[in-house]
Copies of this chain bind each other. A is one copy, B any other.
């Protein structure tokens, strides 16, 4: 039987060009979180490398790996050793010339509970992901683990209420967002604050709209633009866990490397969905337009 609470942890870290050091930092973070009682531990997006999408460079494809592959084998073994659920984010090489931005969930016994290929792919200055990642083709399916059914999503997905809703409809107990987002240092302080606040707000809103907890792990640190044409990205951290009314349960303290620990009370979702029964009243008879690109005037 499930206990009434679940101990969760987010590993918020910096990355460098040293892949082994990056993965070791993730592993150390997982070990520390497990030592503090965490049962479900999530890493940030593409934790094994710098956020290489600041430029379009074919050499970066050497960072990709198959699944199973070196990183996933190592993290699967760690999940088994520590008897924890681990959420990892990998640059997946599926075939020659076919790559995905992929999240993998490892069960407590080291088996793979599921794999999610990022569905919404951004492409903006400093975030040239459409060059690297083929849009996911596995859809929005949640993964059953011993601790909970996980609604696995990744970064840019976090701006899409459709994705959050589909995961909730598929039975997700929580939504999880490994993330790599930061500021362009050329933006004003006001603009930077609006961006971070918008990012927190919309993810808290997914918790509210769907009556379930949301976990977000974002990287920290300044990463230079390899092209040298911009000031790079200042990743803003702010990893957090929100409860089913969007209330903040835990959040990172400042823009430094850290483990964010959060205790999730499972009963809250049951209680909240009883008083705010949004799923009851959805007008599914009137939602067909959601599968259109735009509802152009006739």
Which residues of A are in contact with B by a Cβ distance under 8 Å? 119-122, 124, 135, 139-140, 156, 159-166, 169-171, 194-195, 197-198, 201-202, 204-206, 208-209, 245-247, 275-279, 281-284, 286-295, 297
Contact = CB atoms under 8 A, between A and B. Distances in A.
B290 A140 contact: no
A139 B287 CA distance: 9
B294 A140 contact: no
B124 A275 contact: yes
Contacts of A288: 291
Contact of A290 (B122, B278, B290): B290
A121 B282 CA distance: 9
Main secondary structure of the interface of A (DSSP, over half): helix
A205 B159 CA distance: 9
Contacts of A122: 281
A246 B204 CA distance: 13
25 contacts: A120-B283, A140-B286, A140-B289, A160-B281, A161-B164, A162-B283, A162-B290, A163-B283, A166-B287, A166-B290, A169-B289, A170-B295, A171-B297, A198-B246, A201-B201, A201-B208, A202-B246, A205-B206, A279-B294, A284-B290, A284-B291, A284-B292, A284-B293, A287-B290, A290-B291
Contacts of A204: 201, 205
Contact of A162 (B159, B197, B287): B287
A246 B295 CA distance: 23
A65 to B, nearest CB: 25
B124 A277 contact: yes
A162 B245 contact: no
Contact of A159 (B119, B194, B198, B209): B209
Contacts of A120: 281-283
A261 B164 CA distance: 34
Nearest to A119: B283
B169 A281 contact: no
Given A162-B283, A281-B121, A294 B246 contact: no
B209 A202 contact: yes
A194 B283 contact: no
Contact of A161 (B165, B170, B197, B291): B165
Nearest to A242: B201
A170 B294 CA distance: 7
A121 B286 CA distance: 14
A201 B246 contact: yes
Contacts of A164: 161
Contacts of A205: 161, 201-202, 204-206
Contact of A294 (B169, B278, B295): B169
